[in-house]
Amino acid sequence: MKLSDFKVLTFDCYGTLIDWESGMLSALAPLTDKLGGSVTRNEILEAHGRHESSQQRQTPYKRYREILAVVYRRLAEERGVETSWNECVQYGNSVKDWPAFSDSAEALHYLKQHYKLVILSNIDNESFAESNKKLGVQFDAIYTAEDIGSYKPSDGNFEYMLSALQTRGYEKTDILHTAESMFHDHAPANRHGLKSSWIYRRHGQQGFGAAMPPEEMPHYDFRFNSMKEMAAEHKREMNG
């Protein structure tokens, strides 16, 4: 199996193309500063992932930035820190400031020459529009949690994407799902018979960070530590 066997790359965005953990930690500073160093980077990220996943299951109709506001409040309550709703809302609106990984834009620009590029993301449309400016590429389709009414790893998100792509003439065998999160992306990709590429942004770090751990480790077909590595492998195939 080769990367060049596929016609469509479907992407998770946050954690794969956008450095959501750095963005989260920066925007969480008003809260973590009050904790005075009593919580580690991974501890706050893992707590964030737990509250986020719970809230997404409870209120799948809420936009992602609204989910984040509730997550901020739950983190504050859990640590016994006073906060205001305005502070929670400000955190929810921080997605627009989350940085892209340094290699994302260049890799996407290269891959755009060879594939249809599609986003499948647990995001609201307004927040993604701001992130997309940092990625510097026009995606061929964008499917968000706000569009679908549920959050990954819900099967409904993948069913929606596959149905939409089928109307454009693409079958599962044409698609390579490309993502960091085992919980949100690779596990449901396995369930839906999709091949997948793991962009292991957290290599060298322990745990799963802001993504929940999977019940069991899913299968993946390719593994790269960055989008740059993935683009380089495709170039090698084309020149090989």
Report, as residue numbers or ranges, the catalytic residues.
12
Distance, CA of 223 to CA of 219 (rounded, Å): 11
14 to 20, 84, 86, 137, 236: CA distances (angstroms): 5, 26, 24, 16, 27
Token digits of residue 92: 């929810």
Closest to 222 measured CA to CA, from 155, 177, 162: 177
Burial of 240 (C-beta count, 10 Å sphere; 0-12/13-18/19+)? exposed
